[in-house]
Amino acid sequence: MAQRKWIEKSLSPSLLILELQNNNNNQTNHIPATPTPTPIKLPGHTIELQHSNHTLRLKGGTNAEMAPQIDYTVMVFKPMVEKFNLTLDCDIKRRGYYPKGGGEVIIWMSPVKQLSPIDLTDRGTVTKIHGRAFVAGALPVKLAKDMASAAGRCIRKEIRDLDVNIEAVREPDNEAFGTGSGIIIVAETSTGCLLAGSSLGKRGKNADKVGIEAAEMLLGNLRHGGAVDDYLQDQLIIFMALANGLSRVKTGPITLHTKTAIHFAEQLTKAKFTVAKSEEDVSPKDAYIIECQGVGLLNTNL
C-alpha cells in the first residue's frame, strides 16, 4: 500500500501514469473512487518503471464533471499517449454517474524500457468527426438523439465539407449504474492527432444545449491551431518529462493545469520545459509550443 498511498480517488486519464510504477508480476490493484474525480498527487518516489504486466481495477464515477469522461480516456488519451511507446488497454465494465458513482473500469498495461519523445506540432487537416451521445438509467434515448443532432448542426455551420457522425445510444442497464447523459465528439486529423469536445447532461439542462456545448468545445480546440486539445495538454506533461529526448507539442492557450503540471514535473524529475508563442505564419495568435528535454528515465527491470 505504501507505493499507492498517493493515489487519490479518480477515474481521470492521469491515473494511467501508474504505467510508470514498479509493481509485482501481473498484479491487480483495486482502487476505489468517489463519483466526482479529484486531482492526482504524484510524489517523486513513485516515478518508477514497472517490470511486468499490470492491471488496474478502478471503481467510481466514469462520466462526471470537472474531469474528462472515460470515453475521452478511450477515444483520445489512450491512442495519443501510446505515441510515447506505451501499451495499454481499457475495458469499461460498468459506467457510473454522479452522485452515486458505481462504475468500474479495468486497465491493462505492459512494461516499457524507456519512453520515446513525441513531436505533435503538425496537426494537419481534419479528416473525420465522430462521437457518441449517451443516456442511461431512467432517461429516454431521444435525449441522446437530440444531443447528437444539435451538436451536428452546430459543427456543420463551421465545417461544411465533412460528415459528422455521432452515435446516439442508451447504455444497457447491466452496464450502467444510476442515471446520466452526455456526449463526446472527436476530430481526427491527417497526421494522427485527436481533439475532442464533450459535455454532460443534468436535471433541468436542455439536451440541445448539452450537444451545442460539446460542439463548441471541439470547435474552440480546433480554432486555436494546436495539435492537442485543452484536456490532453496537461496530461502529456509527465510523459514528456520522463521521455528520452526532446518532445514538442503545439497547443492553444496554456491552461492553469498545464502550468501546474510543468512546475511539479520540473521539480520532481529535473526535466526542463520551455513555453513559447508559435512563430509559424499560419498559426493563430494564441498557439503555443511546449518543449521538454526529457530525463530519459530507464526501466532497469527489463
C-beta of residue 109 within 8 angstroms of C-beta of residue 87: yes
The one catalytic residue in 30, 51, 130, 257 is 257
Q: What is the dihedral of CA 91, 29, 174, 180, to 10 degrees?
A: -80
Rounded Cα distance between 182 and 63, Å, is: 8
The candidate with the shortest Cα–Cα distance to 55, out of 93, 96, 84, 85, is 93
Residue with cell 494511467: 16
Q: Is 257 a catalytic residue?
A: yes
- CA distances to 219, 272, 280, 289 from 126, in Å: 11, 32, 19, 20
Rounded Cα distance between 149 and 140, Å, is: 15
Beta bridge mates, 131: 166, 185
Residues annotated as part of the active site: 257
